[in-house]
Structures are given as C-alpha cells and as structure tokens.
Amino acid sequence: MTRRVLIVTHGGRPDAVATVRDAVRELEGAGFSVALHDDDLAEGFGNAGLPIDVVRSAERVEEVEMVLVLGGDGTILRAAELTHGTSVPLVGINLGHVGFLAESDRDELSEVVARLAAGDYAIEARQTVDVAVHQPGVDEPIHGWALNEATVEKAGRARMLEVAVEVDGRPLSSFGCDGVVMSTATGSTAHAFSAGGPVVWPDVDATVLVPISAHALFARPVVVGPDSVLAVEVAPTSSSGGVLMCDGRRQVDLPVGSRVEVRRGSDPVLLARLASGPFTDRLVNKFRLPVVGWRGRHRGNEGGTR
C-alpha cells in the first residue's frame, strides 16, 4: 500500500516554493507519494517539470497518512480545517516567526521526513471548542469550532462593544470592551496571551475567557473546567454589533442581541510530536525566555537544590 503525505503551505511566502521542492524530494526518497493542497503552487510545480497531485478540498484528506505543514501557525490553523474530524495527524515545519504549533524548523526537514517514514513520533490530541451562534430572529444557530480561540470582537473601531458574560447558565459580569477571547489551552499562547491571559499547559482540559480592553473593575481572565459552557451576549444596550472570529479565519456577524456559546469540542485536532521534551522547554525556546541563574536539582540529592 502506498504511503501518502499531503503538503499544506503558505503560497505567499518566498521561501515556500524552495521548501516544498525539497520536501517533495525528501518524501519521495523515503517512499511516500505526495499531494499538495495549494492550487497556485501546484500549477507552478507542474510548469517547472515537477508534476504533483493536487487536493482541492478536504474530501480526500483521509486518504493520506500525514499532513505536512510548511509555514507558521496561521498555515497550521488552515491545515487543521482539513484534518478536523478525521484521524489524520498534522506536523508543522516553521517558516514563520514564533511558530508555536510547529514541531520543527526548516533546517530539520530531512530529520522530520526520516522520523515520519520510521513512524517515530507520538500523536497528541489537542482539544478544540465547539461554537454556537444564536442571532436574533433566526431559529437555527450557526455552528462552528476552533482549535485556538473563538473571539467576540467589536465590528467597528469607533465604538465599544457592550457584552454580558455567562458561565454555566449564570451571569458573571457585563461591561464595555473591545472584545472577549474564549480560548483552548492550545490557544492560550496566541490571541488570549496577547490580551493578558494566562499560559495554560496543553494537557490541561480547560477553557480560558479573556476580556480585551474592558471598562470594568472586574474583568479578569477566568479559567473554567471541561464541562463548563461559556456564553457572551451582545447586550441590547450595545451601540453596535460585533463579529465572531474562529481561529482568526472563520467569521460570523453578531447583530445586537446575538449570543455566542462555547463548550468543549467533540473532535480534537491531532498533532504529530517528534520532540520528547516538556512544554516548559517549548515555552522557553519559542518566547526566548531568560533562564539565567537556574541551576536545577543537585544530582544525587533529589531532596534539595544547590
């Protein structure tokens, strides 16, 4: 049976074409067949004498063993739209800046392919959130999901958004703000982090709510458990409506009176993990955190430090 890998990349990055070319060469050399989920790049490769299969929708994703993502976190979130609800894992090679979701960097491409060929990786299930949007005058809710976060934002720059926040069917607070982020543990290092939320280790089954620029005495980030349901309503007193963004990619308008409910997702996104180090090391490396002065536990003296 032919082993098959789907490549997803950022077509606008100048280094993407060269990296895709190298990735195709490495993968085919390791015995994989390769498909590309980017029409423009695929056509370019065909014109260059490197024919490659094109996958234009999510329908054929379950035919592949792995999705290899070449790009930053935004490209990984785009790839997650293809693999969400399937048993296909994805692995990222960072061509962006921080690339928090990416497993490796560009110069580790050969090693990544060798590890994939040998099956030398672990599968990590990252929790998602399911989102339901109830708009006034509309009988059926609009359903969506997110790997990182669902964010209720003001629709225009000139006015604040008035919201009411609810946890498990009970009101928590109401305030004017620029928005509210409802994040998974995975997304705690993305939009929620930049809004002042806590960093949550990815194995913590929780959802984080972070107000953005709220005009209120109590508008602190809160962390709720896996069975809790968060809700944000665009208050009737709001001078304007809002907009819901899921992972910064999928958008729904929120007229005044709309309600957004967020709960633990039913389908995780699977990531292939090559590194065995703890999340702390990833956090330090990606954010270049200073750890000068740390000496650690004394060898041979497990009960104390030097």
> What contacts 5, CB < 8 A, 6 or more positions away?
27, 32, 33, 34, 35, 64, 65, 66, 67, 68, 116
Place of tokens 């009737």: 236
With tokens 């030398």, the residue in question is: 120
Strand 242-246, strand 66-71: pairing: unpaired
The secondary structure of residue 42, as a DSSP letter, is: H
Would the CA dihedral through 78, 43, 103, 114 be positive or negative?
Answer: positive
Using left for φ > 0, alpha for ψ between -120 and 50, and beta otherwise, residue 288 falls in: left
Is the torsion defined by CA of 186, 190, 192, 196 positive or negative? positive
Catalytic residue among 38, 39, 40, 73: 73
How many angstroms separate the Cα of 261 from the Cα of each of 143, 162, 168?
A: 10, 16, 10
Alpha carbon dihedral 129, 131, 239, 136, in 10-degree steps, equals -170
**How many residues are recorded in the chain?**
306
Active site residue 39: no
Q: Is 164 helix (H, G, I), strand (E, B) or coil?
A: strand
Contact between residue 59 and residue 37 where contact means Cβ atoms under 8 Å apart? no
Which burial class, exposed, middle or buried, applies to 2 when counting CB atoms under 10 A from its CB (0-12, 13-18, 19+)? exposed
Active site residues: 73
